[in-house]
């Protein structure tokens, strides 16, 4: 009380009031500035900057996890029969030189599966041992994903191969999968203005025939990957919210262009859009875009889009070979329920391709599409969409080792006798000796453009 007189106190209050009135415009200006800044940071977005050099990584904080030892997934599982120690040795070396961490899932043979363990139909028990064993091995991997409650996991077959630029490829795929799997994706007027249109060169004779070929779209709509708005909001996975997707089909031996769903809803045509990455140096020239040595014509990708174009889209056009695919927890549960409990009726990769396209397995009756199929695939009994995404050419591919030990059941069928890996330019397995001996500067491009005079 003695330290401050009423006069002093009054003067102090008056000064405070005058200071407050003078600072009001400044305060208002400051508030407006920060409000505008918040809107700009949260509601506006810049275009994605994709380096032209395919060896460069993307400068996006949300994609850094892809640089880790599990490529941005929680775990990577490899399916391997104990008797195939040759394949285990090869993939162990390949992953070591690529700084990738693997866990092996022991494969089984059809003879080891008890008759009571098969889901419908009864004919499953009489399928070839290899088909039955492959089915059960995939179920074992899915079972592990569910048991461990993994948010995401990548599943490899043991003859898988990848490009030295696998992480760069996956970063670009992640940008596409974020957009394509987004439950709130919108084709704004800006994006609509950037739509490109391509004549689909698929025919009923050349299309993937595990599903109806009468619905091939005549025109394909695409957006450049670089036209998408950048995404800064973090998700539980660099590949997009895993509650919005089931399968990322990253390695295959053939994928059809996205097709309309079996029972089309009233959906805008742009839902069939593809995303394109032109001038991608990881993509071989057109004549090399073949899944197998015995495939006569190149994939439709080679004639529908300009050379060296990579595309990303929903896997609704039929996809073959489970060389590499990622599953979310949601996807693993759905696949385990469908193929381990409800039933399956053919080789697993074809069944998975049909499932992604919205078709259910033929369990002894005429095969029919899901009645609630939608543009991203089918829908389950609760109306939940099956979301499967893929890329062409694949990021992972079958390696055909010396001696033709790889028995392929994909396009055309038969044995691959040539030592090579289709689709991959700087293949890890084809350059394994150089990589093991530290001669990275001597790695060889399997499919150089010079052969075509490009």
CA 366 – CA 359 distance, rounded (Å):
12
263 versus 163: the higher-pLDDT residue is 163
Angle at 242 between CA 314 and CA 190, to 5 degrees: 55
**Quick one: pLDDT at residue 31?**
61
> Which pLDDT band, with edges at 50, 70 and 90, does 232 fall under?
low
More confident residue, 129 or 1: 129
Does residue 9 have a pLDDT over 90? no
In a domain, 16, yes or no: no
* 24 found inside a domain: no
Is 431 a domain residue?
yes
pLDDT computed for residue 373 by the predictor: 39
Instruction: Kindly report, residue by residue over 310-330, the tens digit of the pLDDT.
Output: 999 999 999 999 999 999 999
Residue 14 lies in a domain: no
Share of residues in the chain with pLDDT > 90 (%): 64
Say what the pLDDT of residue 4 is.
Answer: 42
DSSP type of residue 316? -
User: What are the tens digits of pLDDT across the range 111-165?
Assistant: 999 999 999 888 888 888 999 999 999 999 999 999 999 999 999 999 999 999 9
User: By three-state DSSP, how is residue 435 classified?
Assistant: helix
Report for 115-129, 224-238, 332-346: range of highest mean pLDDT: 332-346
Q: Which domain holds residue 251?
A: 66-452
Using one digit for the tens of pLDDT, what is the confidence trace for 369-386? 444 334 344 554 444 579
**For the ranges 155-164, 208-217, 264-273, 365-374, which has the lowest average pLDDT?**
365-374
In a domain, 424, yes or no: yes
pLDDT category of residue 255 using cuts at 50, 70 and 90: very high
Total structural domains in the chain?
A: 1
Mean pLDDT of the 356-361 span:
89
What pLDDT shows up at residue 368? 47
Report yes or no on 17 lying in a domain: no
| pTM beyond cutoff 0.75 | yes
Burial readout 14-30 (b: 16 or more C-beta within 10 A, e: otherwise)? eeeeeeeeeeeeeeeee
How confident is the model at residue 272, as a pLDDT?
A: 59
Mean pLDDT of the region 246-251 = 98
Distance CA 250, CA 392 (A): 9
Torsion angles phi and psi, residue 317, rounded to 5 = -105, 15
Residue 21 has pLDDT above 50, yes or no: no
Structure confidence at residue 264 as a pLDDT band (50, 70, 90): low
Instruction: Give residue 32's pLDDT band: very low, low, confident or very high (50, 70, 90).
Output: low
- pLDDT bucket at 219, cuts 50 / 70 / 90: very high
Contacts for 189 with CB less than 8 Å, ≥ 6 apart: none
- CA–CA separation, 245 and 179 (whole Å): 11
Q: What does the pLDDT read at residue 263?
A: 58
Average pLDDT of the chain, as a whole number: 84
Domain membership of residue 167 (yes or no) is: yes
Residue 88 lies in a domain: yes
Tokens of 112: 């080891």
Buried b or exposed e, range 174-213, using 16+ CB within 10 angstroms: bbbbbbbbeeeeeeeeebeeeeeebebbbeeebbbebbbb
């Amino acid at each position: 009380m003695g330290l401050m007189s009423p006069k002093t106190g009054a003067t102090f209050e008056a000064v405070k009031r005058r200071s407050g009135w003078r600072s009001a415009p400044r305060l208002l200006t400051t508030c407006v500035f920060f409000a505008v800044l918040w809107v700009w940071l949260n509601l506006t977005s810049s275009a994605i900057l994709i380096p032209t050099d395919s060896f460069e990584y993307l400068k996006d904080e949300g994609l850094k996890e892809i640089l880790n030892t599990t490529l941005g997934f929680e775990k990577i599982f490899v399916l391997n029969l104990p008797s195939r120690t040759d394949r285990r040795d090869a993939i162990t070396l390949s992953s070591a030189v690529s700084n990738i961490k693997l866990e092996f899932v022991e494969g089984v043979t059809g003879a080891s599966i008890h008759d009571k363990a098969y889901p419908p139909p009864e004919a499953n028990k009489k399928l070839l041992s290899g088909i039955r064993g492959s089915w059960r091995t995939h179920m074992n991997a899915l079972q592990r994903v569910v048991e461990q409650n993994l948010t995401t996991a990548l599943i490899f077959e043991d003859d898988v191969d990848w490009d030295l630029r696998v992480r760069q490829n996956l970063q670009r795929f992640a940008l596409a999968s974020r957009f394509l799997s987004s439950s709130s994706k919108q084709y704004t007027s800006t994006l609509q203005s950037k739509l490109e249109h391509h004549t689909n060169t698929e025919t009923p004779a050349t299309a993937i025939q595990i599903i109806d070929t009468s619905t091939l779209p005549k025109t394909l709509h695409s957006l450049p990957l670089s036209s998408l708005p950048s995404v800064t909001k973090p998700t539980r996975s660099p590949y997009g919210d895993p509650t919005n997707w089931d399968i990322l089909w990253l390695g295959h031996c053939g994928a059809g262009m996205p097709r309309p769903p079996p029972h089309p809803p009233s959906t805008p045509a742009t839902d069939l859009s593809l995303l394109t990455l032109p001038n991608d140096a990881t993509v071989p020239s057109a004549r090399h875009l073949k899944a197998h040595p015995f495939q006569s014509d190149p994939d439709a990708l080679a004639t529908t889009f300009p050379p060296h174009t990579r595309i990303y889209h929903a896997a609704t056009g039929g996809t073959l070979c489970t060389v590499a695919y990622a599953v979310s927890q949601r996807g693993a549960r759905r696949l385990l329920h469908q193929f381990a409990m409800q039933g399956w009726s053919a080789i697993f990769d074809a069944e998975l391709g049909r499932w992604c396209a919205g078709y259910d397995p033929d369990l002894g009756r005429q095969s029919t599409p899901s009645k609630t199929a939608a543009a991203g695939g089918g829908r389950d009994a609760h109306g939940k969409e099956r979301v499967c995404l893929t890329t062409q050419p694949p990021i992972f591919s079958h390696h055909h080792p010396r001696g033709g030990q790889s028995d392929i059941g994909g396009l055309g069928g038969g044995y691959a006798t040539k030592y090579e890996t289709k689709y991959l330019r700087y293949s890890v397995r084809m350059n394994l000796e150089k990589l093991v001996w530290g001669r990275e500067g001597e790695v060889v491009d399997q499919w150089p453009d010079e052969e075509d005079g490009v």
